[in-house]
Structure 1
Amino acid sequence: MTSLPDGFALYHMTAKVFQRSKGRSSVAAAAYRSASCLTDERIGETFDYTRKHCVAAFILAPADAPDWTRDREALWNACEAVERANGVVGREVEISIPRDIPESEWQAFAEEICRRYVEAGAVVDIAIHAPTAADRNLNPHIHGMLTTRALDASRPHGFAAVKNDSLTRIFESGGRHGGGKRGDALKAERERIAGIANAFLERAGSTRRVTHKSWADLGIDRVAEPDIGEGRKRAVTKRKHHDRRTQLVSSMRAARIAENELQNIEEELMKTNPKFQASKGIRRKHRQDFKRGLLADRFPDARGIDADKLYMIDVARPHIARIQTRDGGWVEVEGRRIRTYGKYGYADEVAKAIFDADYADDIERLEELKSLQRRGSGMRQRRRRNEVPAVPAAQVESLADRWRSRGYHQVTEAPDGVWVTIGSCRLQDLGDEIRVHGPSASDAAVRALVEKAAAEWGSEVEVFGDRAFKDSCWLEAQRQGVQVYDQSTGELYQPSEEVRRKFEADRARARDEDEEMDEIKRRKAIASLLLEAAAGDREALTRLQTNDEQLADFVTLHLDDEQRGKLVGKPQAEILAALDHFREYGREAREDEDEKNRDRAVRPPLVFEVPEPEASSAPRPE
């Protein structure tokens, strides 16, 4: 028996990026996913994950791709080398494999999904994992790492100068990408993958199907399970007993299995003997009954709370309970602290009831005094009227998907928008406006606000709040290329001199880092040309002569054939360290060659005199 409703199979699909600015290494990620040992040449570190289990790992590349693209270490080191200092070096999709699909079909399933990315010009590094889930069954899934640039043999490192727009449009839409609203592309991709999964399930003879829609969209009242990472699963397996989170998931699944069994029995009773069911009062659990049960389990001594006025109760995480009321207020109980935010109203009464029952020591109100909004969106007038617009369910789902695709995980969908938890802040995304609830906005929260503005609002925003918040938004906006207007005046925001000086210092430092990175890339490109020229590549030698004559002289004048062969076998790191020495050898060899040529030019030519024949007394023949 499964914890899923009848006819459903597990579906999970996430898309994310590997950002250099977040300290991510695509080489390390590839090593972990493929259970291999790879060296990141950019940082000089080796990542050995050969003890990790991987069912299969393979690379898909366009038909005309060079052989090095199928070498995992060469592929991702090339991606690292071609990318700028704070760039995105790769994408990843993580996709669950429904359990009813047999293992013999897993690789074909992965190839079918990733064929679209290869056709768009990406090289795809695929790994298939199958760790043990909390219910002791396998949890097979696919990791697909995608290169972000198309292949281009004419450029250094073999990749194009710009990002692959065909691939980007598969995952991103709206704004500068065109074609519909933000999130439409990712939603369409999730639906496409669900269709492939269902085709494989049908082929396997399974009656279960996956869906890309949420439980709420399907009208099914289910509380989402907490995430359990592979590391936690391994630790629990090793200890042979649950921790709090895995115990919670296990109990939730056991309850759902029992509920599914009871539902099947009830439906059978209704079919065979409806009078018996009516007399015994057997009926399906209603939503409000479910909420009352959750509330009673978590806060049994709290009195006077009307479950009919509650929209949602989230107790998936053992240490946090979150309650949303139907009038738009929120209550969050973490440890012995209660936080309320959103609209004043019934949420404050719920918080007081929980406090009076001695489940908390204090109540903190997260005031909403700051916001960022798309310029010209009309939100300013709504704010003056103290209005919070209702957000359509389809738009809420799309907004939530975009936040998750940018790497944020504490995201909640609600009628009053999407709520994102970042530290002590609660961000309320209303589509064209984000309201900040909390005592202060951390750097991480401000960065998240401006990221959305850059991605979805055409890089023009209006800011509302105190001077410190406006300065923080302006500083982060300069880093991300976003124009900031003061909401109170409608004019371009003018920061304090201190903040402006800090920005100039940051920009100078970033410029120095970019120049340093460009120099590293240039040296690596020269080193590659040197090795190719030493291996006998005439085109590489011509390019080397154009870019660095001393290194070309080193190859042609200083080295003999045997020395050139030994040079080709050396690692690139050694070549990079010795470039200046090689140039000195090349300069000396050129001076010696020029000296020889001058000697040949001034040395007088040798003259061989042929002696005249001696006079003979013999008569000349007539």
Structure 2
Amino acid sequence: MASFNFQIRSGGKGKALEHSRYVARRGYHRAKNDLVLSGCGNLPAWAEGDPERFWRAADAYERVNGTTFRELIIALPNILAGAPLRPLVADIIRQLVVGRPYQYAVHSPPSSLQGEQNLHMHLLYSDRMPDGFERSPEQTFARFNPIYPWQGGCRKMSSGRTPMQVRDDLIALRKLVADIQNTHLARHGHAVRVDHRSLRDQGISRAPERHLGPGRIRQMSPQEKQDYVQRRQHWRAAAAGASDHGSGAARL
């Protein structure tokens, strides 16, 4: 079974433009030299196709304690690198963004532990849903007017949800991302699959793998790295065996 990793983050006022540049590997971030794909879509006319103009306006005009962007960070299967990657990314964007302004980038840095590629995508999007009315940059991020929508800003799609709804939406989103990846893995003839469920829900009793981080890995000796890699391979093999066993039992 392939590793599944999905994170969701958000950024407040004043954070959007710089994070956009980081994701797109603009300026000094270009030195990372790991950008594979990038693009944007659904931007208002005044942005003229430039995501930096959009995020700069969000930083300037969104309310003080408002959220300027949300970000999904999604691990992608390395075996889908190359030609299969672009349609996979396009499918994820189409099903997750649903009309909202967005910017994306796919990075492929080498992992600090084994040197293998760490293929993943960043998907930034605004909750401000376009509705067909032309607005200035300032009005786009103003408070929504439900009676006269053309006089206010764009509606925020995430407003008004209860904590239970937020939790359920996150679970559904994780499943959707896993289903999209599995569809593309099957389409290209790969038997490996990803699973969005927790280890407990998969029937696996071990603790989740810890993200060590580059700093911790630099402090490890070659033998410690080798031992950790071997343990991780054992965990993943055991997880794959447990998943296969569970799937077989379900078919009986």
TM-score over 0.5 for the pair: yes
Which letter does structure 2 place at the counterpart of 1:251? D
Of residues 147, 162, 166, the one that matches 2:126 is 147
Aligned CA distance change for structure 1 residues 259 and 19 (closer, same or farther; 3 Å): closer
Which letter does structure 1 place at the counterpart of 2:231? A
Are 2:175 and 1:159 equivalent residues in the alignment? Answer: no
Between the aligned partners of 1:247 and 1:150, the Cα distance in structure 2 is: 52
2:229 aligned residue: 253
Between the aligned partners of 2:137 and 2:235, the Cα distance in structure 1 is: 60
TM-score, normalised with respect to structure 2: 0.77
Which letter does structure 2 place at the counterpart of 1:252? Y
Residue 154 of structure 1, CA deviation: 2.6
1:88 aligned residue: 67
Which letter does structure 2 place at the counterpart of 1:216? R
Unaligned segments of structure 2, at least 5 residues: 145-153, 241-252
Q: Which structure is richer in relative contact order (CA contacts within 8 A, separation 6 or more)?
A: 2
RMSD of aligned C-alpha atoms?
3.1
Between the aligned partners of 2:236 and 2:161, the Cα distance in structure 1 is: 44
Residue 160 of structure 1, CA deviation: 4.8
Between the aligned partners of 1:165 and 1:68, the Cα distance in structure 2 is: 18
**Where do residues 438-453 of structure 1 align in structure 2 (5 Å cutoff)?**
none
Larger radius of gyration: 1
Aligned CA distance change for structure 1 residues 114 and 155 (closer, same or farther; 3 Å): same
1:35 aligned residue: 25
Matched-pair contact (CA < 8 Å) for 1:150–1:159? no
Residue 244 of structure 1, CA deviation: 3.3
1:56 aligned residue: 37
Matched-pair contact (CA < 8 Å) for 1:58–1:126? yes
Aligned CA distance change for structure 1 residues 138 and 147 (closer, same or farther; 3 Å): same
Between the aligned partners of 1:117 and 1:143, the Cα distance in structure 2 is: 12
Which letter does structure 2 place at the counterpart of 1:257? Q
Number of matched pairs:
226
Between the aligned partners of 1:247 and 1:85, the Cα distance in structure 2 is: 50
Which letter does structure 2 place at the counterpart of 1:195? D
Of residues 77, 87, 103, the one that matches 2:56 is 77
Give 4+ residue runs of structure 1 displaced > 4 Å after superposition.
178-182, 245-250, 258-264
Residue 246 of structure 1, CA deviation: 9.6
Which letter does structure 2 place at the counterpart of 1:206? H
Aligned CA distance change for structure 1 residues 248 and 213 (closer, same or farther; 3 Å): farther
Matched-pair contact (CA < 8 Å) for 2:92–2:180? yes
Residue 102 of structure 1, CA deviation: 2.9
2:110 aligned residue: 132
Between the aligned partners of 1:18 and 1:247, the Cα distance in structure 2 is: 39
Aligned CA distance change for structure 1 residues 246 and 66 (closer, same or farther; 3 Å): farther
Aligned CA distance change for structure 1 residues 12 and 249 (closer, same or farther; 3 Å): farther
Give aligned-pair identity as a percent: 23
Of residues 82, 101, 111, the one that matches 1:123 is 101
2:198 aligned residue: 214
Which letter does structure 2 place at the counterpart of 1:19? G
Of residues 177, 180, 192, the one that matches 2:161 is 177
Matched-pair contact (CA < 8 Å) for 2:182–2:193? yes
Aligned CA distance change for structure 1 residues 259 and 130 (closer, same or farther; 3 Å): closer
Matched-pair contact (CA < 8 Å) for 1:131–1:139? yes
Unaligned segments of structure 1, at least 5 residues: 1-7, 38-47, 170-175, 237-241, 265-622
Aligned CA distance change for structure 1 residues 262 and 199 (closer, same or farther; 3 Å): closer
Between the aligned partners of 2:182 and 2:125, the Cα distance in structure 1 is: 24
Matched-pair contact (CA < 8 Å) for 2:17–2:55? yes
Aligned CA distance change for structure 1 residues 52 and 84 (closer, same or farther; 3 Å): same
Which letter does structure 2 place at the counterpart of 1:130? S
Q: Secondary structure at the match of 1:214?
A: coil
Are 2:21 and 1:26 equivalent residues in the alignment? Answer: no
Which letter does structure 2 place at the counterpart of 1:142? M
Residue 248 of structure 1, CA deviation: 5.8
Which letter does structure 2 place at the counterpart of 1:18? G
Are 2:10 and 1:17 equivalent residues in the alignment? Answer: yes
**Where do residues 329-408 of structure 1 align in structure 2 (5 Å cutoff)?**
none
1:109-129 per-residue CA deviation (whole Å, 9 max, x = no partner) reads 22211113443x411110100
Q: Secondary structure at the match of 2:9?
A: strand
Between the aligned partners of 1:190 and 1:260, the Cα distance in structure 2 is: 20
Residue 145 of structure 1, CA deviation: 0.8
Aligned CA distance change for structure 1 residues 165 and 263 (closer, same or farther; 3 Å): closer
Are 2:104 and 1:104 equivalent residues in the alignment? Answer: no
